[in-house]
Protein backbone atom coordinates (compact mmCIF):
# COMPACT_ATOMS: atom_id res chain seq x y z
CA UNK A 1 0.00 0.00 0.00
CA UNK A 2 1.34 3.42 -0.92
CA UNK A 3 2.60 5.41 2.02
CA UNK A 4 1.55 9.01 1.70
CA UNK A 5 3.21 12.00 3.22
CA UNK A 6 1.52 13.58 6.20
CA UNK A 7 2.30 16.94 7.70
CA UNK A 8 3.43 15.22 10.87
CA UNK A 9 5.67 12.68 9.16
CA UNK A 10 7.41 14.94 6.67
CA UNK A 11 7.80 18.68 6.63
CA UNK A 12 9.45 21.05 4.22
CA UNK A 13 12.06 23.41 5.60
CA UNK A 14 9.76 26.32 6.41
CA UNK A 15 12.48 28.93 6.01
CA UNK A 16 13.00 27.86 2.42
CA UNK A 17 9.45 26.85 1.52
CA UNK A 18 7.95 30.15 2.63
CA UNK A 19 10.52 32.14 0.73
CA UNK A 20 12.32 33.43 3.86
CA UNK A 21 15.96 33.16 2.86
CA UNK A 22 19.15 34.13 4.58
CA UNK A 23 21.43 36.59 2.76
CA UNK A 24 23.77 33.75 1.83
CA UNK A 25 21.02 31.54 0.42
CA UNK A 26 19.58 34.49 -1.50
CA UNK A 27 22.97 35.25 -3.01
CA UNK A 28 23.47 31.62 -4.03
CA UNK A 29 20.03 31.53 -5.65
CA UNK A 30 20.05 34.85 -7.46
CA UNK A 31 21.75 33.46 -10.56
CA UNK A 32 20.24 30.01 -10.19
CA UNK A 33 16.93 28.21 -10.38
CA UNK A 34 14.69 30.86 -8.81
CA UNK A 35 15.69 33.56 -11.28
CA UNK A 36 15.68 31.31 -14.34
CA UNK A 37 12.33 29.69 -13.51
CA UNK A 38 10.52 32.93 -12.77
CA UNK A 39 12.04 35.38 -15.26
CA UNK A 40 13.12 33.19 -18.16
CA UNK A 41 10.53 30.40 -18.08
CA UNK A 42 7.69 32.32 -16.34
CA UNK A 43 7.19 29.49 -13.86
CA UNK A 44 7.67 30.47 -10.21
CA UNK A 45 9.50 27.85 -8.17
CA UNK A 46 6.49 27.79 -5.85
CA UNK A 47 4.65 25.87 -8.60
CA UNK A 48 7.32 23.16 -8.55
CA UNK A 49 7.28 23.03 -4.76
CA UNK A 50 3.49 22.59 -4.70
CA UNK A 51 3.69 19.75 -7.23
CA UNK A 52 6.48 18.13 -5.23
CA UNK A 53 4.67 18.30 -1.89
CA UNK A 54 1.46 16.93 -3.41
CA UNK A 55 3.08 13.79 -4.84
CA UNK A 56 6.16 12.81 -2.85
CA UNK A 57 5.99 9.63 -0.75
CA UNK A 58 8.13 8.10 1.99
CA UNK A 59 9.81 5.85 -0.59
CA UNK A 60 10.98 8.30 -3.24
CA UNK A 61 13.24 8.28 -6.32
CA UNK A 62 14.59 11.56 -7.68
CA UNK A 63 15.69 11.20 -11.32
CA UNK A 64 18.13 13.70 -12.79
CA UNK A 65 19.92 15.97 -10.32
CA UNK A 66 22.01 18.16 -12.61
CA UNK A 67 24.42 20.21 -10.56
CA UNK A 68 23.07 18.58 -7.41
CA UNK A 69 19.82 20.55 -7.53
CA UNK A 70 16.77 18.84 -6.04
CA UNK A 71 13.74 19.89 -4.02
CA UNK A 72 14.42 16.86 -1.81
CA UNK A 73 16.98 18.91 0.10
CA UNK A 74 14.10 20.97 1.54
CA UNK A 75 12.64 17.99 3.38
CA UNK A 76 13.33 17.62 7.06
CA UNK A 77 15.02 14.44 8.24
CA UNK A 78 12.66 11.62 9.15
CA UNK A 79 13.40 8.00 10.02
CA UNK A 80 10.57 6.72 7.80
CA UNK A 81 11.74 8.58 4.69
CA UNK A 82 13.77 6.69 2.07
CA UNK A 83 15.22 8.89 -0.67
CA UNK A 84 17.22 7.77 -3.70
CA UNK A 85 18.91 9.79 -6.44
CA UNK A 86 19.48 8.50 -9.99
CA UNK A 87 21.70 10.30 -12.48
CA UNK A 88 24.32 9.49 -15.10
CA UNK A 89 26.78 12.04 -13.71
CA UNK A 90 28.69 11.16 -10.55
CA UNK A 91 29.57 14.76 -9.76
CA UNK A 92 25.89 15.74 -9.80
CA UNK A 93 25.09 12.82 -7.51
CA UNK A 94 27.82 13.85 -5.10
CA UNK A 95 26.51 17.42 -5.06
CA UNK A 96 22.95 16.18 -4.51
CA UNK A 97 24.14 14.00 -1.65
CA UNK A 98 25.92 16.95 -0.05
CA UNK A 99 22.77 19.09 -0.28
CA UNK A 100 20.55 16.37 1.20
CA UNK A 101 23.05 14.69 3.48
CA UNK A 102 20.66 14.92 6.44
CA UNK A 103 18.35 12.46 4.65
CA UNK A 104 21.04 9.79 4.08
CA UNK A 105 20.04 9.33 0.42
CA UNK A 106 20.99 6.34 -1.70
CA UNK A 107 22.85 7.23 -4.90
CA UNK A 108 22.48 5.32 -8.17
CA UNK A 109 24.53 5.99 -11.28
CA UNK A 110 23.21 4.95 -14.71
CA UNK A 111 22.19 6.30 -18.10
CA UNK A 112 18.65 7.68 -17.98
CA UNK A 113 17.95 6.45 -21.52
CA UNK A 114 18.59 2.82 -20.71
CA UNK A 115 16.35 0.48 -18.77
CA UNK A 116 16.75 0.99 -15.03
CA UNK A 117 17.36 -2.43 -13.53
CA UNK A 118 16.44 -2.37 -9.86
CA UNK A 119 16.07 -5.90 -8.50
CA UNK A 120 12.74 -6.16 -6.67
CA UNK A 121 12.95 -2.46 -5.83
CA UNK A 122 9.80 -0.43 -6.25
CA UNK A 123 9.24 3.22 -5.42
CA UNK A 124 6.03 4.94 -4.35
CA UNK A 125 6.94 8.19 -6.09
CA UNK A 126 9.32 9.25 -8.85
CA UNK A 127 10.15 12.86 -9.66
CA UNK A 128 11.38 13.92 -13.12
CA UNK A 129 12.06 17.59 -12.52
CA UNK A 130 13.43 19.44 -15.58
CA UNK A 131 14.98 16.26 -17.00
CA UNK A 132 13.29 15.40 -20.29
CA UNK A 133 14.19 18.57 -22.20
CA UNK A 134 17.94 17.84 -21.99
CA UNK A 135 17.98 14.20 -23.11
CA UNK A 136 18.96 13.09 -26.61
CA UNK A 137 16.54 11.75 -29.22
CA UNK A 138 13.11 12.71 -30.47
CA UNK A 139 10.51 13.89 -27.97
CA UNK A 140 8.41 10.74 -28.40
CA UNK A 141 11.41 8.47 -27.89
CA UNK A 142 12.56 10.34 -24.81
CA UNK A 143 9.10 10.25 -23.27
CA UNK A 144 8.58 6.59 -24.08
CA UNK A 145 11.92 5.59 -22.58
CA UNK A 146 11.63 7.64 -19.42
CA UNK A 147 8.01 6.76 -18.66
CA UNK A 148 8.52 3.07 -19.43
CA UNK A 149 11.43 3.06 -16.99
CA UNK A 150 9.37 4.88 -14.38
CA UNK A 151 6.48 2.43 -14.79
CA UNK A 152 8.80 -0.55 -14.25
CA UNK A 153 10.08 0.96 -11.00
CA UNK A 154 6.77 2.15 -9.52
CA UNK A 155 4.71 0.28 -6.97
CA UNK A 156 0.95 -0.03 -7.61
CA UNK A 157 -0.75 3.35 -7.16
CA UNK A 158 2.67 4.99 -7.15
CA UNK A 159 3.02 8.53 -8.49
CA UNK A 160 5.20 9.82 -11.30
CA UNK A 161 5.45 13.58 -11.56
CA UNK A 162 7.74 16.31 -12.76
CA UNK A 163 8.26 19.20 -15.13
CA UNK A 164 9.80 19.89 -18.51
CA UNK A 165 10.48 22.90 -20.72
CA UNK A 166 8.38 23.06 -23.87
CA UNK A 167 9.89 24.38 -27.09
CA UNK A 168 6.36 24.61 -28.50
CA UNK A 169 4.82 26.54 -25.65
CA UNK A 170 3.93 30.04 -24.55
CA UNK A 171 7.40 31.42 -25.00
CA UNK A 172 8.20 35.11 -24.70
CA UNK A 173 11.15 36.93 -26.23
CA UNK A 174 13.57 36.13 -23.41
CA UNK A 175 12.61 32.47 -23.17
CA UNK A 176 12.68 32.01 -26.96
CA UNK A 177 16.14 33.57 -27.13
CA UNK A 178 17.48 31.44 -24.29
CA UNK A 179 15.97 28.22 -25.65
CA UNK A 180 17.40 28.89 -29.09
CA UNK A 181 20.84 29.52 -27.62
CA UNK A 182 20.72 26.46 -25.34
CA UNK A 183 19.50 24.23 -28.17
CA UNK A 184 22.35 25.37 -30.41
CA UNK A 185 24.85 24.62 -27.65
CA UNK A 186 23.29 21.21 -26.99
CA UNK A 187 22.25 22.08 -23.44
CA UNK A 188 18.58 21.65 -24.42
CA UNK A 189 16.92 19.38 -26.96
CA UNK A 190 13.35 20.62 -26.87
CA UNK A 191 12.59 22.59 -30.04
CA UNK A 192 9.64 20.33 -30.92
CA UNK A 193 8.54 19.38 -27.40
CA UNK A 194 4.82 20.01 -26.95
CA UNK A 195 2.09 19.40 -24.39
CA UNK A 196 -0.04 17.20 -26.71
CA UNK A 197 2.62 14.51 -27.11
CA UNK A 198 3.51 14.69 -23.44
CA UNK A 199 -0.10 14.06 -22.47
CA UNK A 200 -0.55 11.24 -25.01
CA UNK A 201 2.50 9.29 -23.86
CA UNK A 202 1.64 9.75 -20.19
CA UNK A 203 -1.87 8.41 -20.84
CA UNK A 204 -0.38 5.38 -22.59
CA UNK A 205 1.66 4.35 -19.56
CA UNK A 206 -0.35 5.71 -16.62
CA UNK A 207 -3.78 6.73 -15.36
CA UNK A 208 -5.09 9.82 -13.57
CA UNK A 209 -2.94 11.95 -15.84
CA UNK A 210 -2.86 15.67 -15.17
CA UNK A 211 -0.81 18.10 -17.27
CA UNK A 212 -0.80 21.86 -16.79
CA UNK A 213 1.37 24.55 -18.33
CA UNK A 214 2.82 27.50 -16.47
CA UNK A 215 4.72 29.79 -18.79
CA UNK A 216 7.14 27.63 -20.80
CA UNK A 217 6.94 24.74 -18.34
CA UNK A 218 4.68 21.69 -18.40
CA UNK A 219 3.87 20.28 -14.96
CA UNK A 220 2.67 16.68 -14.99
CA UNK A 221 1.54 13.99 -12.58
CA UNK A 222 0.10 10.51 -13.06
CA UNK A 223 -0.60 7.23 -11.26
CA UNK A 224 0.78 3.74 -11.80
CA UNK A 225 -2.02 1.21 -12.41
CA UNK A 226 -1.38 -2.48 -13.11
CA UNK A 227 -2.89 -4.18 -16.15
CA UNK A 228 -2.97 -3.70 -19.90
CA UNK A 229 -2.34 -0.24 -21.27
CA UNK A 230 -4.79 1.20 -23.76
CA UNK A 231 -4.75 4.23 -25.97
CA UNK A 232 -1.85 5.50 -28.03
CA UNK A 233 -1.49 1.97 -29.41
CA UNK A 234 0.93 2.99 -32.15
CA UNK A 235 3.63 3.80 -29.61
CA UNK A 236 6.40 1.19 -29.50
CA UNK A 237 8.47 1.53 -26.32
CA UNK A 238 11.77 2.98 -27.45
CA UNK A 239 13.42 1.49 -24.40
CA UNK A 240 13.03 -1.99 -25.91
CA UNK A 241 15.72 -1.05 -28.42
CA UNK A 242 18.14 0.01 -25.72
CA UNK A 243 20.54 -2.08 -23.67
CA UNK A 244 19.93 -2.39 -19.97
CA UNK A 245 21.69 0.16 -17.82
CA UNK A 246 24.22 -0.94 -15.27
CA UNK A 247 22.60 0.52 -12.18
CA UNK A 248 25.26 0.99 -9.55
CA UNK A 249 24.80 2.29 -6.04
CA UNK A 250 27.66 4.58 -5.16
CA UNK A 251 29.41 3.92 -1.85
CA UNK A 252 28.51 6.85 0.37
CA UNK A 253 31.73 6.78 2.39
CA UNK A 254 33.67 7.75 -0.74
CA UNK A 255 31.54 10.85 -1.05
CA UNK A 256 31.36 12.28 2.44
CA UNK A 257 34.41 10.64 3.99
CA UNK A 258 32.43 8.80 6.66
CA UNK A 259 32.42 5.04 6.21
CA UNK A 260 28.96 3.48 6.39
CA UNK A 261 29.06 -0.28 6.87
CA UNK A 262 25.46 -0.79 5.80
CA UNK A 263 26.16 0.49 2.28
CA UNK A 264 27.60 -2.21 0.03
CA UNK A 265 30.11 -1.13 -2.57
CA UNK A 266 29.32 -1.50 -6.26
CA UNK A 267 25.98 -3.17 -5.65
CA UNK A 268 24.51 -4.16 -9.03
CA UNK A 269 20.88 -4.70 -9.91
CA UNK A 270 19.13 -6.61 -12.70
CA UNK A 271 15.58 -7.80 -13.25
- Residue 8 within a domain: no
In Å, how far are 66, 196, 203, 253, 261 from 258, measured between CA atoms?
24, 47, 44, 5, 10
| 176-214 confidence digits (pLDDT tens) | 888 888 899 888 899 999 999 999 999 999 999 999 999
Specify the CATH number for the domain of residue 233: 3.40.50.150
d(CA 115, CA 146): 9
In a domain, 26, yes or no: no
| Domain contains 9 | no
pTM summary value = 0.75
Domain tally for the chain?
A: 1
Domain that holds residue 98: 40-268
Q: What is the pLDDT of residue 56?
A: 93
The verdict on residue 30 lying in a domain is no
pLDDT computed for residue 33 by the predictor:
55
Examine residue 14 and state whether it is found in any structural domain, yes or no: no
Is residue 32 in some structural domain?
A: no
Domain assignment present for 25? no
In a domain, 85, yes or no: yes
Amino acid sequence: MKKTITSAALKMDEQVATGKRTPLSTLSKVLGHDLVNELAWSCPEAELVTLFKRNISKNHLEVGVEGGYSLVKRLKANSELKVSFLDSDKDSLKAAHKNAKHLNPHLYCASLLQSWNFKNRKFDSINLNMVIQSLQGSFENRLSTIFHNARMCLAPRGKVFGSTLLGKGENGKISSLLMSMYNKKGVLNNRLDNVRQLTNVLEYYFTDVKVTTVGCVALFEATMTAGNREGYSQLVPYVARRERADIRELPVYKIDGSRRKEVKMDRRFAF
